[in-house]
Amino acid sequence: MTKLRFHIRFPEEKIPEPIVYHLGHEYRVVTSIRRADVRETTGWMDIELSGETEEIERAIDGLRSKGVSVDPIELNVVE
């Protein structure tokens, strides 16, 4: 099982949507929020996705298709 960490940023119109919840249901990945700051008009999270590499890649593509900005982060940045 692969574990990869990402920094994601939400556009203002996506803040109310349960994007991380849907991520775990639409793809075969386990999500773990490592750090987050979500406010009324801005939001970001550092998340760890666990699963098969191909499924993590599909999940990332799915996030991007929803307008979420996704960047990989170093493994020990959020510890």
Q: Model confidence over 3-54: pLDDT tens digits?
A: 999 999 999 999 999 999 999 999 999 999 999 999 988 899 999 999 999 9
**What's the rounded Cα separation, in Å, for the pair 72 and 79?**
15
**pTM, full prediction:** 0.85
- For residue range 43-74, list pLDDT tens digits in order: 999 999 999 999 999 999 999 999 999 999 97
C-beta of residue 70 within 8 angstroms of C-beta of residue 64: yes
Q: Kindly tell me the sign of the dihedral angle through the C-alpha atoms of 63, 60, 29, 33.
A: negative
Q: Where are the domains of the chain?
A: 2-72
Domain 2-72: CATH class, spelled out = alpha beta
Polymer length of the chain: 79
C-beta of residue 10 within 8 angstroms of C-beta of residue 41: no
